[in-house]
Amino acid sequence: MSEAERKATPEEDERQIGKDVGGDVSVGGEAETVDDEEVTAIFYKTKVVEFLGRSSQIILQNDNGPCPLLAICNVLLLRNVIDLSLDISEVSQQKLLSLVAERLLDSNSNLEGKDEDYVSNQQRNISDAIDLLPCLARGIDVNVLFRKIDDFEFTPECAIFDLLDIGLYHGWIVDPQDMETANAIGSKSYNALVGELVALDTRSPKEDKYLPEDDSVDFAAAATAALGVPSPCLSRSLSCNDPQILVLGHLIRNFLKDNASQLTVYGLFCLQEGLKERELCVFFRNNHFSTMFKYNEELYLLATDQGYISQQNLVWEKLNEVNGDTMFMRSDFKQFMPEVQVNHSWDEQNGMNEFLAVEGSTSGNSTFKIFEVMIMAICLNNLRISAVALDGGTRVSSPLELLIDYLVLITN
């Protein structure tokens, strides 16, 4: 049977629906098993940054992906509760897992005065969390709910954040002022919403008359059983033919599609209001986990892309818009501007002598050559003038000076 003829499995249908209605989000399934030898062989680059008056290492990410391990480690490093030498330039994944495991044990070691059942339960939770730590390196399954910033379906992996006293937040929240959408979504999770949309897609063609004309999303009905959630017909004791159910499905679908960035304006407001000042936490968005910090009532995401490793003072990314341009910030939370190197030194007398020597040694087409170089010099001068704004108004070379510099360069 060809790939085109093969019927999609329910799990594949569910993943496709997630892409259709709301972008990539981790739902369903089990965390991928990580081989011990593979873990040992993985290394991450590090970068020393200034944070609130002290130097700290942060871990950089070389590939786009979830990797909650790095987000957790960076929170712990900036909190100064785990330590990496400032002299190293990379760290193994195994070392990071060991540091997190040690922190889990240290932060939950004070059990004096607790009853026996509590102690036994806590020790079991810590043991389970340590066993699950390797999953943090590959990504964990999270199922968001849309009511508040810490609204996640509880999983054993999410318990790791609680045991480390690290907040896990998102901003994919429905605005309660949009009462129709808020009522349609209610307390349902992302998985449950996708399940309802799949169930609606089992309707017969005659039911299409109830759908708005702009509805064009094709959902796979086979995923209904795999999700294990009741269809809207069962949960509301109404027929799938009922127009009310179809309208609810349309509201849900539009919310997921219109907010595919997984951050709403209301959600951003809730994050700004909900985080404590100077709180370090982990932010989940678009299947990615970032280290987030609130400082002077503003939200910042730690810039951990390995591509920024040479930009020593590029440390944060400001989170103040849902779909806006990124603004990078320095370690002091002021806007980052790339460094521009400008050469301020020029020896006028030596430069003129070199220019005359070059002019005397040129061939018969020297006039054309000099004209060509002059045009290039003027272009270079315009570029240097543009750099003045970034260099505090420092004087730049004139076109003649640039011409002389260039002629000397091409004759050496």
Active site members:
67, 288
Are 26 and 286 in contact by the 8 Å Cβ rule? The answer is: no
Q: In which residue are the tokens 């440390």 written?
A: 315
293/306 Cα distance (integer angstroms): 20
35's tokens: 């081989």
Question: 390-396 — which CB contacts under 8 Å span 24+ positions?
Answer: 390/337, 390/338, 390/340, 391/340, 391/342, 394/342, 394/344, 395/344, 396/342
Specify the DSSP class assigned to residue 29: S
374/364 Cα distance (integer angstroms): 17
CA 354, chain centre distance (Å): 54
Q: For 127-176, give the DSSP string.
A: HHHHHHGGGGGT-----BBSSSTT-B---HHHHHHHHTT--EE-B----T
Q: For 273-307, give the DSSP string.
A: HHSPTT-EEEEEETTEEEEEEEETTEEEEE--BGG
